[in-house]
Chain A
Amino acid sequence: MAKKSLEVEAEVEVEDEGDAAQFKMPVDSDHKATEFWLFSFAKPHMRAFHLSWFSFFCCFVSSFAAPPLLPVIRDNLSLTTTDIGNAGIASVSGAVFARLAMGTACDLVGPRLASASLILITTPAVYCSSLIDSATGFLLVRFFTGFSLATFVSTQFWMSSMFSPPKVGLANGVAGGWGNMGGGATQLIMPLVYELIKKIGSTNFIAWRIAFFIPGVMQTCSAIAVLMFGQDMPDGNYNKLHKAGEKHKDNFSEVFKHAVTNYRGWILALTYGYCFGVELTIDNIIAQYFYDRFGVNISKAGTIAASFGLENIVSRPGGGLFSDYLSKFFGMRGRLWGLWVVQTLGGIFCVILGRTNSLAGSIVVLLLFSLFCQAACGLTFGVVPFVSRRSLGLISGMGGGGGNVGAVLTQLIFFHNSKYSTEDGIFYMGIMILVCTLPIALIHFPQWGGMLCGPKPGYTPEDYYQSEWSHHEQQKGYHTASLRFAENSVREGGRSARGSGHSKHTVPVETSPTDV
């Protein structure tokens, strides 16, 4: 079946035959990979995947390196609970605008330069964490280190540029999930490094400072690897493509306009705040919750906290995979329903967590909550790549930024002062998740439909993506990449789209006649 599809595509689009042969992996007309080989480093697709998830992982490790070492840091710096709470909020608020900026940067200069630049610019903040001696210093380094979380956007953008629509949910989910895992891994890495340094003979107040060099060095090395081995698109880097005239260098105000006027981007920004934002909040508060409420010791609380973040290794990719799977049978409508159901379940388990009184019960509910919460993150970025092609970066940035806004809001409302006990805060946060997930029902793609309504008859993906370019720009051929994307996303119409020859151009295997 797969072989036949390659033959069909090769016959119809002769000019691609030679180009496609240069790739180790099977590709579509956009040269995006149509398969996902997790354990391969095949250039450029899988290589880009490994570079992007690992560099994002390192940024998460750095951004959440402080929480597990707080028992030492708070004594060294004489921090109060308020100082720690403020720094926690600062650590996730920097990325709100950084993610928007990153989205634009990706659209304009490509994910390779954009992400590596940001990572190298924020690494000094990680190294200088070892030099702070006051609450203000602590807040500032956490704030600037947190900017690096914007590499999430470049990760999703890069995967959306390298992988074809049928695999984009999975690629985005694994890259995002394995990166987010850094927030869990750091709760194990940092205490381990700290204990090791103390054993070698350091005092506690010196040891934690030395420990911070580990995430710093990891970050620097990953950025250099991205610059040396990474490539923006299957066909090359942006500057090469711009020069060859193969890629039109877009202008910022048009990219900006098409992103902010697309209401779907705003809704996804809101809903992402209640899966990913909630995940960040939990990363910051859950160890203390278990320590205070159930009296477990610091290392046990850290292990429980780590397990929440580490679940990302399967839960977020699972969400992406589930999104792609739903799309196979139900198209975009399936992706949207899947997102709403999974995120609502996450909200339900959050509500239950706030009302569970036993330690064992809380751990079980936490693991279930984390599964659905993180899967919803994966499902969200199964939808985002389709909202816009021209402004993909900025839409991804809005979604990602919305996630951080959610984290800032929930920490401010429920966990900053003593108005609510932590368990009540968790309960109300769950209710907020349920309410803020409802707007997904309002998302409607005219070519594919939405949760509640079907598609507009006769409206094709080409119409949707072409509408982002003015007639003048279309005459100049600037929109060709968008057209290729539209062809390859025909499957988002679901099973009903097949056999009706929706696209004017080549159609993938599903619409080939069944007579053999």
Chain B
Amino acid sequence: MAGLRLSKTTIALLLLIVCHVGPSMAVLFSQLPKTLIVTATTKSGDVLHAGEDKFTVTWALNTSLPAGADANYKTVKVLLCYAPVSQHDRKWRKSNNDLKKDKTCQFTVVKQDYSATGKHEYTVARDIPTASYFVRAYALDASDTKVAFGQTTDANKTSNIFDIVGITGRTTGIFVSAIVFSAFSGVALAFFYVVENKKKK
């Protein structure tokens, strides 16, 4: 009996190791098939405001593909991605073929179960920075690995680029506080100078 239990644990451990090896192999973007057709209601040059404006993104499996091409697609993840002009001189937004190191797409629009077609209305979140964007959708398998993609722009990421203007973050409260606190520092200094001069006399 003890011997059986021991071998069960060993099998469990081995399974764990095997399952770990699979997903940790690098997924390269260049090897992902572009099987999804993704469109958005934004047009080239549109300007959207964070926290206010919305757009709708639609995705569908390319119908010219053989049946069963989407057999292992379990989830769809739609992301907002930086256009090359917004990646320039900004190492933290750099594109990398190794998807683990890729920083092109940093904001999730929606993540939901896969269906051959889908659409989602998205209100631009308040923490999206001012930049130029396109939309990309990844199909993920059961182990959350990216297995396919589709995007609203072309391979060079030059068409259908739209802009988002982020919130400034400068609320009236902050504005007033900064002025008040700065003035207070100046007044405090002046006060002590007056006191010092009085002492001199």
- Which residues of A does B touch, CB under 8 Å? 71, 74-76, 78-82, 113, 116-117, 120-121, 123-124, 127-128, 130-131, 133, 203-206, 208-210, 213, 216-217, 220, 223-224, 227, 239-240, 243, 292
Contacts and interface: CB of A to CB of B under 8 A. Distances in A.
A450 to B, nearest CB: 42
B18 interface: no
B169 A205 contact: yes
A127 B181 CA distance: 7
A220 B170 contact: no
Contacts of A131: 170, 174-175, 178
A210 B178 CA distance: 10
B186 to A, nearest CB: 7
Given A76-B169, A210-B174, 16 more contacts: A74-B92, A78-B130, A81-B90, A124-B181, A124-B182, A124-B186, A127-B177, A128-B182, A133-B168, A133-B170, A203-B169, A205-B129, A208-B169, A209-B170, A216-B181, A220-B185
Nearest to A124: B182
6 tightest A-B CB contacts, nearest first? A205-B169, A124-B182, A75-B129, A80-B89, A120-B189, A123-B185
Contact of B129 (A78, A210, A213): A78
Contact of B178 (A128, A220, A239): A128
Nearest to B91: A81
Contacts of B5: none
A123 B189 CA distance: 11
B43 interface: no
Contacts of B188: 120, 220, 223-224, 227
A71 B170 contact: no
Interface of B: 86, 88-92, 126-127, 129-131, 166-171, 174-175, 177-178, 181-182, 184-186, 188-189, 192, 196, 199-200
28 contacts: A75-B166, A78-B129, A78-B130, A78-B131, A80-B88, A82-B89, A116-B189, A120-B188, A120-B189, A124-B181, A124-B186, A127-B181, A130-B174, A130-B177, A130-B178, A131-B170, A131-B174, A133-B168, A203-B126, A203-B127, A205-B127, A205-B167, A205-B168, A206-B171, A206-B174, A209-B174, A213-B181, A239-B200
A48 B199 CA distance: 21
Interface residues of B: mostly helix, strand, loop or mixed? Answer: helix
Contacts of B86: 78
B182 A123 contact: yes
Contacts of B126: 203, 205
A418 to B, nearest CB: 10
A227 B192 contact: yes
A204 B177 CA distance: 18
B100 to A, nearest CB: 10
A416 to B, nearest CB: 13
Contacts of A243: 200
Nearest to A80: B89
A123 B188 CA distance: 12
A294 B31 CA distance: 26
B7 to A, nearest CB: 37
Nearest to A83: B89
Contact of A120 (B174, B177, B178, B185): B185
A74 B103 CA distance: 15
Nearest to A121: B189
Given A116-B192, A210-B174, A74 B90 contact: yes
Contacts of B171: 206
A205 B168 CA distance: 7
Contacts of B167: 203, 205-206
A205 B92 CA distance: 18
A121 B183 CA distance: 10
B127 A127 contact: no
A128 B179 CA distance: 8
A394 to B, nearest CB: 22
Interface centre among A82, A206, A208 (most CB of B within 10 A): A206
Nearest to A81: B89
A419 to B, nearest CB: 15
A405 B188 CA distance: 32
Given A80-B90, A81-B90, A124-B185, A239 B196 contact: yes
Contacts of B131: 78
Contacts of A206: 167, 169, 171, 174
Nearest to A206: B169
B13 to A, nearest CB: 27
Contacts of A239: 196, 199-200
A217 B181 CA distance: 8
A113 B90 CA distance: 43
A120 B187 CA distance: 9
A292 B103 CA distance: 13
A224 B92 CA distance: 41
A78 B126 CA distance: 15
Contacts of B170: 130-131, 133, 209
A78 to B, nearest CB: 5
Contacts of B174: 130-131, 206, 209-210
Nearest to A132: B170
A208 B170 CA distance: 10
A117 B192 CA distance: 10
A240 B200 CA distance: 7
Contacts of A128: 178, 182
Contacts of B189: 116-117, 120-121, 223
Nearest to B171: A206
A120 B186 contact: yes
A223 to B, nearest CB: 8
A240 B181 contact: no
Nearest to A204: B127
B196 to A, nearest CB: 6
